[in-house]
Structure 1
């Protein structure tokens, strides 16, 4: 099954979810379509299993990135490194991720919705620690803006040639730092 899911990741990354087929996934996995159907009923079942795998791995990556211990003392630029670098690394390591969660045939995967809500909650928790004077509405708005900035820039980062990728990552950190600096009450000097 892992071989099929690895093949599906590559096929989804190359062609997108809609254009991918179970036959193309089987061919990439080096198995017959009949063998694939012994494990999965079709492309949607493969995508659901792959989404679950991505979500489990993403939860782990995000747990490390958004750990709240010691964040009040971190300079904002170092906090951006701690959060953004693992998220970028995860997205680069999983190129089929975007095809699954943005694809029109797999809308609103429950795990994806759950993950986005958890991410928003983690960002809100960090904002609450660093800017305790903000009310719940302000924290939620700040989290939404931050997540949308990351989501928008992630496409540029993952699609950029390797020689330009670091520049886009630096731009993302700069944008977030400049957005957060006025409300970040924990910044030292």
Structure 2
């Protein structure tokens, strides 16, 4: 059956668009590798093109400079990160032990950061492009808010200012622990992950016990402050 008039003309742009998307994904993957190895400042567009196996001219067809590449990469990572903490900080059954809930959330965040080490590399650097820094600040505030919501559920009657402070401390503990986790491999990395979980649980348990008027021991709750 012959093609309808104009069908080939419509198909060609779609094919070019698909090829363009694959090329962009190839360049972003190469950029992620180079940023992790060399850092943002020392990275050049030539190094990214070389890692991607393309000419600099091909790279410039899609991105005018390395900042544009970093911003596109950062945008995609931010989207994935929001999905990750949406799952990691979702409400859990009230009978879930604190250690189990903390462990599950930490595992999800650690998995994201170990699968995407460039996220940490881009966010950590002092020369992070302004737009990425702004997006990260917005992500941080949203994350703190989610932690506050979950903390409030197992710290009833706690003043909002105290909940906010606790949320910031939890996030600070996680970020400090993450840096240690990412600098180790294998069994040693797993050991640092266990230590991170233990620190968070030991921090939160007394707070929960105090608010409930209990004298200690293992508490079950609806945490999520494990971020």
TM-score range, shorter chain: over 0.9
Q: Structure 2 regions of 5+ residues with no counterpart?
A: 1-23, 213-218, 222-227
Contact 1:18–1:104 (Cα < 8 Å) also in 2: no
Q: CA deviation at 1:61?
A: 0.8
Instruction: Please tell me whether residue 115 in structure 1 is matched to residue 142 in structure 2.
Output: no
Question: Could you say what secondary structure the match of 1:183 adopts?
Answer: helix
1:93-119 CA-partner distances (Å, limit 9, x unpaired) = 011112211222225622211110111
Q: Give the Cα–Cα distance (whole angstroms) in 2 for the partners of residues 188 and 180 of structure 1.
A: 11
Please, what TM-score do these two structures have when normalized by structure 2? 0.79
Give 1:181's aligned residue: 205
Q: CA deviation at 1:163?
A: 2.2
Contact 2:33–2:118 (Cα < 8 Å) also in 1: yes
Q: Give the Cα–Cα distance (whole angstroms) in 2 for the partners of residues 23 and 180 of structure 1.
A: 48
- The more displaced of 96-105 and 114-123 is 96-105
Asked which structure has the greater CA Rg, the reply is 2
Q: Give the Cα–Cα distance (whole angstroms) in 2 for the partners of residues 131 and 10 of structure 1.
A: 42
Give 1:49's aligned residue: 72
Q: CA deviation at 1:69?
A: 4.2
Contact 2:92–2:101 (Cα < 8 Å) also in 1: no
Q: Structure 1 regions of 5+ residues with no counterpart?
A: none
1:162-181 CA-partner distances (Å, limit 9, x unpaired) = 12011000000000000000
Residue among 54, 79, 83 paired with 2:105: 83
Residue among 56, 59, 78 paired with 1:33: 56
Residue among 18, 37, 43 paired with 1:14: 37
Provide the aligned length of Structure 1 versus Structure 2.
188
1:15-35 CA-partner distances (Å, limit 9, x unpaired) = 111111111111111111111
Q: Give the Cα–Cα distance (whole angstroms) in 1 for the partners of residues 208 and 96 of structure 2.
A: 11
Q: Give the Cα–Cα distance (whole angstroms) in 1 for the partners of residues 75 and 95 of structure 2.
A: 35
1:27-50 CA-partner distances (Å, limit 9, x unpaired) = 111111111111111010000000
Root-mean-square deviation (Å): 1.5
